[in-house]
């Protein structure tokens, strides 16, 4: 826990809220969420928020990405960083994973996160802040693929200040 954010992003733009339930197996021997489990929780929130699904509950307006060999497109993780502010204890209510975009590039997006205590149990605690750079690529060649106008329009509503990490 040596990295510290320079402060929370400036509030104002809307955020995507994805509730993510913890599993007992997410805990480590110290009785808090393990760092590898945190990456999986972020992945689950990201997939629910940004990738199209054929079935299930209504998807958010940001669920516009296609990915997989059948679509001919892949989304690859270019970078991930997490700053742990407090240990995440096991709890029955879902964590409130809040997301926004720190940057929307030609073929990459920077997804910013705050992993918070459940919204149902105020005051809300921020356990961690994170960022992930996702790159859209051609499945066959691996070359970057530009985001479509539909994808850009879905993302731009949630564009806000990125998380700045000090080292």
Domain ranges of the chain: 16-161
CB 88 within 8 A of CB 126: no
Dihedral over Cα of 127, 99, 145, 53: its sign: positive
pLDDT at position 152 is 92
pTM: 0.86
pLDDT at position 9 is 44
CA 52 to chain centre: 15
CA 90 to CA 31: how far, in whole Å? 7
- 24-70 per-position pLDDT tens digit: 888 888 888 888 999 999 999 999 888 777 665 666 777 677 776 67
Q: Phi first, then psi: give them for residue 25, nearest 5 degrees.
A: -70, -10
- 64-79 per-position pLDDT tens digit: 777 766 788 889 999 9
pLDDT at position 78 is 96
Query: Hey, which bits of 41-125 come out as E strands?
Result: 73-84, 95-104, 108-116
Cα R_g (the chain), whole angstroms: 16
CB 46 within 8 A of CB 62: no
Dihedral over Cα of 132, 108, 48, 97: its sign: positive
Neighbours of 82 (CB within 10 A): 18
Q: In the predicted model, what is the mean pLDDT of residues 134-162? A: 92
Looking at 3.30.300.10, 3.40.50.620, 3.10.129.10, 3.60.21.10, the CATH number of the domain 16-161 comes to 3.10.129.10
- 5-24 per-position pLDDT tens digit: 434 444 567 899 999 999 88
CA 45 to CA 19: how far, in whole Å? 8
Q: Phi first, then psi: give them for residue 155, nearest 5 degrees.
A: -80, -35
């Amino acid at each position: 826990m040596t990295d510290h954010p320079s402060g929370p992003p400036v509030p104002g733009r809307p955020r995507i809220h994805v509730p993510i339930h913890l599993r007992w197996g997410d805990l480590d021997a110290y009785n808090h969420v393990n760092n590898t489990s945190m990456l999986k929780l972020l992945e689950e929130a990201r997939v629910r928020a940004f990738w199209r699904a054929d079935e299930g509950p209504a998807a958010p307006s940001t669920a516009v990405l296609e990915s997989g060999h059948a679509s001919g497109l892949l989304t690859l993780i270019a970078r991930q960083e997490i700053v742990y502010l407090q240990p995440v204890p096991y709890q029955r209510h879902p964590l409130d994973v809040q997301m926004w975009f720190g940057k929307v590039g030609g073929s990459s997006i920077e997804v910013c996160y705050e992993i918070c205590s459940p919204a149902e149990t105020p005051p809300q605690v921020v356990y961690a802040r994170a960022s992930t750079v996702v790159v859209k690529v051609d499945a066959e060649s691996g070359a970057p693929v530009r985001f479509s106008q539909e994808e850009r329009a879905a993302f731009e509503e949630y564009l806000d200040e990125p998380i700045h990490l000090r080292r």
